[in-house]
Amino acid sequence: MKRKLVMIGNGMAGVRCIEEILKRNKETFEITIIGDEPYPNYNRIMLSHVLQGKTEVSEINMNDWEWYQENEITLFTGEKVTEIKTEDKKMKTDKDRVIPYDELIIATGSSAFILPVPGSELEGVIGFRNIQDTEFMIDTSKRYKKAAVIGGGLLGLEAARGLMDRGMQVQVVHLMPRLMEQQLDNPAAKMLKKDLEAQGMEFLMEKQTAEIYGGERVEGITFSDGSSIECDLVVMAVGIRPNVVLAKQAGLNVNRGVVVNDQMQTSVPSIYAIGECAEHNGITYGLVAPLYEQGIELAKYLTGENTAGYHGSILSTQLKVAGCDLFSGGKIEEDENTDAIIVQDQFSGVYKKVLVSDNKVVGVVLYGDASDGTRLFSMLKKETDISDFTSAAVLQKAGEDASEEMIAEMSPDETVCGCNGVTKGTIVQAILEQNLKSFEEVKTCTKAGASCGKCKGVVEGILSNTLGDSFDPAAVKTGMCGCTMLTRDEVVAEIKEKGLQSPKEVRNVLGFANEEGCHVCRPALNYYMRMIRPGEYEDDKASRLVNERMNGNIQNNGTFSVVPRMYGGTTTGDDLIRLGEVANKYNVPLVKITGASRVGLYGVKKEDVPQVWEDLGMRSGYAYSKSLRNVKSCVGAQFCRFGTQDSLGLGIRLEKELEMVDTPHKMKIGVSGCPRNCAEALTKDFGVVCVENGFQLYFGGNGGTEVRECDSFTTVKTEEEVITMATAFMQYYRETGIYNERTAPWVDRIGAENIKLVLLNEKQNTALIERFHHAKGTYEEAWSSTLKNRKEKELYEIVKK
């Protein structure tokens, strides 16, 4: 019978421990995880990249929801443990849930330390520890312009850079005379400050905060010297405080953190602690590498593997700020027992210092060029005797390539990628077993270099060392996403050839690095499966983007737009009345005629969106989807004196014929009633220009940031031929387009002449249309099955006619 293993905390250190346990023996434990944040496990150290706009929150997930399910882990999110009963081996949560355990891991992490000064409770004063903090800062940057960051350490500078990238004026307030005083000596700190000032960051050094003032919201900071600054946001980055209240109440031995031994065991034998909340030999750690080391050692112990235990970590630091390349490890200042090797190039902005004691490296400070960081830090940790090295080029062995030498001598368990805890042994094993040839392939397979990317040089060195002469540093192959080196065409071919039935099967059979996929491949595979197997494959709504799941476009404040279908921009008095009633009922702040000639409701609260659609009883305009968005048309010959054909009627027919079916990206069609082109048909994905003797057809246009005029296709005589050609065009785009690729780059990639050859071939044209109608039938069937009331069903029948 499996023992019950419960972990309090769903962060990086704890989940890494669980991963290592599962890797060693999946049958040992029945695992439960309780996390107080409403998210799966994510990479906290990448929050600065989210704040800086380099990545999205969805991209920093380390284990998605499916990972917990597939590993049979019970996960409770948004829930806090309120009590641990050590005698009964049970715990209680704030939702009155009682959870028994055999072994318990406390991985509660830490909280941002908030200075206990007057005004620290005001709105707009925040720490920088989690997704909620990050989203608050991003939201604040949209409404306010002045920010102050208290703390000139690693986290404070990353926060300041992110807020600047979001358009805020930022002042960094620091108590000490130099930045990052724990990691940088004076020359390196001066260079850092100079570079950041050149980027527009402002500094107030040797300033002690006395008060944060304001009404309900922060308005400024007053310092102990009497000076003050105005600000709309205050970010505290002055340190962290281990979350130990729960452990202390349970009677565990607690100092600054929860006290543990080398096996990460607390004063109660069945309870363990790891991560920022744990204190080992009087030290608490806040960087990811030592936390991963703790998790690995605890996993070994819990699964019965022989282990010497955890014996502490030597720390190193890198800064994730554009234009500032630095590395620090071990000691940073000379003393009577150390000598310093210093290389400084003021012209190039490069500073390198290595501290040596008894012929061993004991400290490293690099600024401007941190490429030697991993190599020198490896020498520091291994206590390498440097007697045979010359200091002229910062410790390269005389007559040899020291980088190759050091990589060859690195032990398999040595960490190469600190961000993701990837060792040299893991990389070498992946290279040999999966025939990896490039850095990109290693990154995809192992996650080494997938975060900050500063270990790329070492990874390439390991590739070179492992492959020898067969390593080509220029070898690059771009896969469809970071989970695989297979291209879109290769993935689609494998799905057809192997008869794969689901995205999960695709990822497993084709060896995707991430079994759960990523934000790029999940929606793409869902699209490809539905395109290849219409009617057989059931659409996975969870893999769709948030706009498609909500049937509306998310706005910059988190609300949504609701845009009903209005064929050809036409509507009725009853529909307009209903729109007005719904807008008033839900206090919709903006009702607007859209660029696609429809009425849009903007600012609908997320929780109201489903009910708004139900109250409207109208078809969606698909203004959010990767499908046909709309057909823009002029009034044509019905009313316009220049009109040559019924462009309005044709536009409505096209919209009804082609709507609903997914495409690789959004599509827009234009139908102009004469060559004056009022419907802008020549910059649409598919364009129709009505002329006296028929209809001129075009494709591949784009009116966006990169304008592309359509390629001329052909001229046809009847509306039926227009619909035939548009349908075949759409299906060919569906079958050959890369997910997220508009028709303009698709035409450039496939070739306009090649597309014409296919569409003008009667046999191929007919086959494309048949496949489209089969797919459309499955979409209509799925949509019809969701209709909830008689009114909707009646509307559907009217639309079909």
| Interatomic CA distance for residues 115 and 112, integer angstroms | 10
Assigned token pair, 578: 């209903």
| Interatomic CA distance for residues 417 and 424, integer angstroms | 9
CA distances from 458 to 424, 448, 461, 493, 686 (A): 9, 10, 5, 35, 49
Closest CA to 288 of 9, 13, 7, 10: 13
Nearby residues of 583 by Cβ (< 8 Å), 6 or more positions away? 591, 601
Element (DSSP H or E) covering residue 632: strand 628-633
Q: What is the DSSP letter of 554?
A: B
Assigned token pair, 200: 């527009």
Helices (H), strands (E): how many in the chain?
A: 25, 37
CA distances from 772 to 727, 731, 745, 747, 762 (A): 7, 6, 22, 19, 15
Closest CA to 130 of 154, 159, 104: 159
Give SS3 for 752.
helix
Could you tell me if 312 and 280 are in contact, meaning their C-beta atoms sit under 8 angstroms apart?
yes
Could you tell me if 451 and 419 are in contact, meaning their C-beta atoms sit under 8 angstroms apart?
yes
Strand residues in 90-183 grouped as ranges (E):
90-93, 98-100, 103-106, 110-112, 125-126, 146-150, 169-174
Could you tell me if 657 and 727 are in contact, meaning their C-beta atoms sit under 8 angstroms apart?
yes
- Annotate 46-96 with DSSP letters as a single string: GHHHHHTTSS-GGGGBSS-HHHHHHTT-EEEES--EEEEETTTTEEEETT-
| Interatomic CA distance for residues 179 and 205, integer angstroms | 9
Q: What number of CA atoms fall less than 13 Å from residue 454's CA on the CB side?
A: 23
Nearby residues of 454 by Cβ (< 8 Å), 6 or more positions away? 318, 325, 370, 373
Q: Is 634 annotated as a binding residue?
A: yes
| Interatomic CA distance for residues 572 and 595, integer angstroms | 19
Phi then psi for 330, rounded to 5 degrees?
70, -145
Closest CA to 511 of 475, 486, 531: 486
Could you tell me if 537 and 529 are in contact, meaning their C-beta atoms sit under 8 angstroms apart?
yes
Q: Is 678 annotated as a binding residue?
A: yes
Where is the binding site for siroheme, in residues? 678
Where is the binding site, in residues? 634, 640, 674, 678
Where is the binding site for [4Fe-4S] cluster, in residues? 634, 640, 674, 678
